[in-house]
Structure 1
Amino acid sequence: MGRHVFKDHLMLLALALPAILYFFIFHYVPMFGIIMAFKDFKYHLGVLGSEWIGFANFEFFFSSNDAWRITRNTVGYSLLFIAVGTAGAAAIALLLYEVRSRLALKFYQTTMIFPTFLSWVLVGYITYTLFNPSLGLFNQLRDFFGQAPVDWYADPAYWPYILTAANLWKGVGLSSIIYYAALMGVDPELYEAARIDGAGKWQQTKAISIPSLVPVMTILTILAIGDVFRGDFGLFYQIPRDVGMLYSTTDIIDTYVFRGLRQGDLGITAAVGLFQSVVGLALILLVNAIVRRLRPENALF
């Protein structure tokens, strides 16, 4: 039976082979390096030769002033991005579903997906042209209306809004296409029956469209929950330009680890990375277990 199944799905397995090799080479093979989290790593001694110090690296990190700040920022932004991104993508998908012109639909989809393919480096430069303290577009507009300019890169209070807007602008297009595809799978007879019963557009949306999106939203949310402790490095490093004055609201675990690697603190950064991965896996299992208990048909596994 197993051999027949393998032959029947040989083409699909061949298509999946590059992804399997990628994850094996770049995600599983390097897992040997997690032992650095438990060692006082020295370059001249290597990974195996360095002294075993147990959980000392973890204790150093959790007792530092940085632990609460970067954990709060990472989790807070992740949950905010999940809520805002899901709501925004679902709303756009519902609006696209009402567009009847194929030309207009293709135009909207293309323009919204385009930012997804821009690198965060380029988006960082675009953001800087908007928020440059002296020549930025927003400060020029403020000057035009007689208001004082704002030094955006010196005040951390603005950056939760800026980062949320940048993340939404760059990612909402692709996510909306996923939800739009789910809506395309809804039986049109359901809408026809609702119209015959006198249901308006909003009632059809509440009774048919939104419930049809719930299974997809649930699966994507479960997957996103696994990355709650893992932020988008490009977003948090390129957009605020690694300005130290903004660390209170822009520094996350990934940027903290990057700076640690540049300074040579490999043991501590390995400990932080291991903590990040273990908690992410635990969150996926926990959320999936809750969903499976409440609505088994919407669970990931």
Structure 2
Amino acid sequence: MAGSFFRRFNRNKVLLLMVLPGALWFLFFSYLPLFGTIAAFKEYRFRGGFWNSLINSKFVGWDNFKFLFNTDAAFTITRNTLLYNIAFIFLGLVFSVGLAILLSELVNKRLAKLYQTSMFLPYFLSWVIVGYFAFSFLSMDRGLLNHILGYFGVDSMQWYSDPTYWPYILIFVYLWKSIGYSSVVYLASILGIDRSLYEAAMIDGASKLQQVRNITLPLLKPIIIIMTLLAVGKIFYADFGLFYNVPRDSGTLYSVTNVIDTYVYRGFKVTGEIGMSTAAGLYQSVVGFVLVMVSNFAVRKLDKDSALF
């Protein structure tokens, strides 16, 4: 038995060495930190090393989770997190698929690459930089948008004090930054479709719209379902940089910009309670896992071949 194992190991050693960096990354950053989740059930106090503190800290059960649910902001942060993520998933899917289809239909491939690169670039910008971009448009005194409104005789608006428009601003900024990256997956899938299917459709007199509806979208359905299921697993996670840096942590906007991640960050900054932050992360992970399992089960019942697993 041992000899067979070593023979297989020796035969596949090159492939195993290629996998080793990724395996080590998952080991150190995904599996070993799981032991730290016990801090969610303890009143963590640092006393001579992380593990020593983790073991000797007082066990408090579910008290840390009350930090999320026993406050006046619990409903607001949960509502904001869910609604924003639902909008991100739905609109991101529609615009990403639409953009990928448009890019795939461009005849001039050099121009298509130029468009793809220009739309991919915002993904690499940090939210700090994006926050300053937004400020250059929305600043009360020097903002470009207020100058444009003034040109048409409209009074300048205090964007960072009025929460009315911020749900639309945050959704727009998120889509602007992420669509280019998301569309790459769908564009790769479209380019992998057999071109003879489109040629046969053209011979039959099908228009571009009919080709998209009857060939492209049905063949994209598996990857759309997989990407949506993965996104559903993070529906209780909010992009901290988006909700913290773009609104510039304005207190008057908390009703529409405060989400679970920013709420936990502010609570940790004030109280320094590691246990509460860990409890929030564990709660988000468990809920995300349950949602993925339920969603995948529903997809499997409807179409077994389209399920994630």
TM-score, reference length from structure 1 = 0.94
2:31 to 15, 23, 28: 28
1:297 to 255, 280, 305: 305
- Secondary structure at the counterpart of residue 153 of structure 1: coil
> Alpha-carbon deviation of 1:109?
0.9
* Structure 1 pair 30–159 and aligned structure 2 pair: CA distance change class (3 A): same
* Structure 1 pair 5–236 and aligned structure 2 pair: CA distance change class (3 A): farther
Q: In the TM superposition, what are the counterparts of 1:65-214 in structure 2 within 5 Å? A: 65-214=72-221
Matched residue, 1:267: 275
> Alpha-carbon deviation of 1:76?
1.1
Q: How many residues align?
A: 301
* Structure 1 pair 209–54 and aligned structure 2 pair: CA distance change class (3 A): same
Q: Distance in 1 between matches of 2:95 and 2:16?
A: 35
What percentage of aligned pairs have identical amino acids? 45
> Alpha-carbon deviation of 1:73?
1.1
Q: Distance in 1 between matches of 2:218 and 2:7?
A: 38
Amino acid of the structure 1 residue aligned with 2:73: D
1:242 to 249, 254, 277: 249
Q: Distance in 2 between matches of 1:10 and 1:170?
A: 40
8 Å contact from structure 1 (residues 229, 279) kept in 2: yes
> Alpha-carbon deviation of 1:134?
1.4
Which segments of 5 or more consecutive residues in structure 2 lack a partner in the other structure? none
Q: Distance in 2 between matches of 1:183 and 1:34?
A: 41
Q: Distance in 1 between matches of 2:225 and 2:282?
A: 26
Is 2:291 the counterpart of 1:283?
Answer: yes
> Alpha-carbon deviation of 1:234?
1.2
> Alpha-carbon deviation of 1:17?
2.6
Amino acid of the structure 2 residue aligned with 1:268: M
Is 2:234 the counterpart of 1:231?
Answer: no
Q: Distance in 1 between matches of 2:184 and 2:257?
A: 29
* Range moving further from structure 2, 260-269 or 98-107: 260-269
**CA deviation digits over 1:57-79, x for unaligned, max 9?**
22343121122111111111111
> Alpha-carbon deviation of 1:40?
2.2
- Secondary structure at the counterpart of residue 186 of structure 2: helix
1:256 to 222, 244, 263: 263
Amino acid of the structure 2 residue aligned with 1:147: V
* Structure 1 pair 168–6 and aligned structure 2 pair: CA distance change class (3 A): farther
* Structure 1 pair 12–243 and aligned structure 2 pair: CA distance change class (3 A): farther
* Structure 1 pair 51–119 and aligned structure 2 pair: CA distance change class (3 A): same
* Range moving further from structure 2, 138-147 or 285-294: 285-294
Q: Distance in 2 between matches of 1:201 and 1:279?
A: 41
1:48 to 55, 61, 64: 55
TM-score, reference length from structure 2 = 0.92
8 Å contact from structure 1 (residues 81, 168) kept in 2: yes
* Structure 1 pair 17–260 and aligned structure 2 pair: CA distance change class (3 A): farther
* Structure 1 pair 62–298 and aligned structure 2 pair: CA distance change class (3 A): same
> Alpha-carbon deviation of 1:44?
4.5
**CA deviation digits over 1:240-293, x for unaligned, max 9?**
111111111111111122222222122222211111111011111111111112
Q: Distance in 2 between matches of 1:257 and 1:10?
A: 45
**CA deviation digits over 1:103-133, x for unaligned, max 9?**
1111111101111111111111111101111
Q: Distance in 2 between matches of 1:158 and 1:116?
A: 23
> Alpha-carbon deviation of 1:236?
1.1
Q: Distance in 2 between matches of 1:92 and 1:25?
A: 37
> Alpha-carbon deviation of 1:228?
0.4
- Secondary structure at the counterpart of residue 154 of structure 1: coil
Q: Distance in 1 between matches of 2:204 and 2:5?
A: 51
> Alpha-carbon deviation of 1:8?
6.2
8 Å contact from structure 1 (residues 34, 270) kept in 2: yes
**CA deviation digits over 1:11-46, x for unaligned, max 9?**
444333323222221222222221221122333493
> Alpha-carbon deviation of 1:215?
0.9
**CA deviation digits over 1:112-157, x for unaligned, max 9?**
1111111111111111101111110100111111101111111112
